[in-house]
């Protein structure tokens, strides 16, 4: 009697189990590949949506940014003309000429910084997280928004934790969140007299190592029943808005391993709390 004749049932059952296990493994592998592919597609869609939102922000700030660039360029031209006049004076005042050259250099660097920040914000498809100082991100973003906030007659009170607040983040996306929170705060106070329009910005490193950025305004605030709704896509209190800004900002926060919420205990307006893991 052969082995097959003696153990045909056991062999058949074993082969069936092996086939089923193989099919299960193949199905799991295919499912995992599909899951990863969907995650990659969702990540790309999120990045594209964030880029489009950032582009819209830059469009809204175009007038202010043009003014921000026009100031150093106008100063460079005025100093260059003054320097040329000095060359025709005898004896030449070398000290004043050196001061003029120094002013030109400073204005040139200021214009170059604005252009560099704009270029970073307009990059698309960025995903890498790098160690950086949250304070520095706040400072550079305020520099980009300075002229816009002046045009809106809105003051800013800044209190940064020292010496630094180290995080791992993507700078353009981080600036996008900060800029969105700044402009939302300014919009919330548009109905107030200019003397009352002030945004309070704070950074700190909590005892548990989490880094925190808060942006507070003196507007009408966010009612408790709307605190969760405002982070959903296409939900907005502004008529001209698509309601994607806060939804994208929360998505960016989550992609960084952080959170974005409104303070439930703040009753003097609205205060957004943006947290990131410490670097």
Question: Residue with structure tokens 């999120």?
Answer: 46
pLDDT of residue 126: 58
Strand pairing class (198-205; 155-159): parallel
- For the stretch 204-217, pLDDT in tens is 998 888 999 999 99
- For the stretch 37-96, pLDDT in tens is 776 666 666 666 666 666 666 666 666 667 667 778 888 888 888 888 878 777 877 788
Is there a domain that residue 250 lies in? no
Is there a domain that residue 278 lies in? no
Question: Residue with structure tokens 């160690």?
Answer: 131
pLDDT of residue 241: 54
Q: Which domain holds residue 77?
A: 63-122
Mean pLDDT of the residues in the chain:
81
pLDDT of residue 275: 95
pLDDT of residue 154: 93
Is there a domain that residue 152 lies in? no
239 pLDDT above the threshold of 60:
no
Is there a domain that residue 58 lies in? no
98 pLDDT above the threshold of 90:
no
Mean pLDDT over 96-109 rounds to 84
Strand pairing class (211-217; 166-169): unpaired
pLDDT of residue 210: 92
Beta bridge partners of 262: 272
189 pLDDT above the threshold of 90:
yes
Question: Regarding predicted confidence, which is higher, 7 or 143?
Answer: 143
Is there a domain that residue 257 lies in? no
Is there a domain that residue 196 lies in? no
pLDDT of residue 215: 96
Domain count, the chain: 1
Helices (DSSP H) in 61-133: which residue ranges?
A: 62-87, 94-122
pLDDT of residue 48: 63
Question: Regarding predicted confidence, which is higher, 144 or 270?
Answer: 270
Question: Residue with structure tokens 């499912």?
Answer: 31
Instruction: Return the minimum-mean-pLDDT range out of 27-36, 103-112, 117-126.
Output: 117-126
Mean pLDDT over 269-278 rounds to 93
Give the CA distances from residue 276 to residues 143, 185, 217, in Å, rounded to whole numbers and listed in that order: 22, 21, 21
Residue 125: strand, helix, or coil: coil
Contacts of 204 (CB under 8 A, 6+ apart): 161, 165, 211, 212
Is there a domain that residue 67 lies in? yes
pLDDT of residue 43: 62
- For the stretch 134-170, pLDDT in tens is 999 999 888 888 888 888 899 999 999 988 899 999 8
pLDDT of residue 14: 83
Is there a domain that residue 83 lies in? yes
Q: Which helix (H) or strand (E) holds 203?
A: strand 198-205
């Amino acid at each position: 009697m052969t082995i097959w004749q003696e153990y045909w049932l056991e062999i058949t059952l074993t082969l069936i189990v092996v086939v089923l296990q193989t099919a299960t493994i193949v199905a799991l592998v295919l499912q995992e590949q599909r899951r990863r592919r969907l995650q990659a597609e969702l990540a790309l869609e999120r990045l594209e949506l964030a880029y489009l939102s950032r582009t819209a922000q830059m469009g809204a700030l175009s007038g202010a940014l043009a003014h921000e660039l026009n100031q150093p360029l106008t100063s460079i031209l005025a100093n260059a003309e003054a320097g040329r006049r000095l060359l025709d004076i005898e004896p030449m005042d070398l000290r004043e000429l050196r001061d003029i050259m120094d002013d030109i250099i400073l204005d040139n660097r200021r214009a170059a910084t604005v252009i560099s920040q704009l270029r970073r914000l307009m990059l698309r498809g960025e995903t890498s997280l790098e160690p950086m100082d949250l304070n520095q991100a706040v400072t550079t973003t305020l520099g980009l928004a300075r002229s816009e906030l002046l045009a809106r007659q809105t003051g800013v009170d800044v209190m940064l934790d020292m010496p630094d607040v180290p995080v791992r983040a993507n700078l353009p996306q981080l600036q996008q969140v900060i800029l969105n929170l700044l402009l939302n705060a300014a919009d919330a106070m548009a109905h107030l007299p200019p003397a009352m329009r002030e945004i309070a910005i704070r950074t700190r490193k909590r005892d548990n190592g989490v880094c925190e950025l808060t942006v507070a305004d003196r507007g009408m605030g966010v009612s408790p029943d709307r605190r969760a709704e405002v982070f959903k896509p296409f939900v907005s209190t502004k008529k001209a808005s698509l309601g994607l800004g806060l939804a994208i900002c929360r998505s960016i926060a989550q992609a960084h391993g952080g959170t974005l919420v409104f303070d439930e205990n703040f009753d003097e307006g609205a205060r957004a709390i943006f947290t990131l893991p410490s670097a």
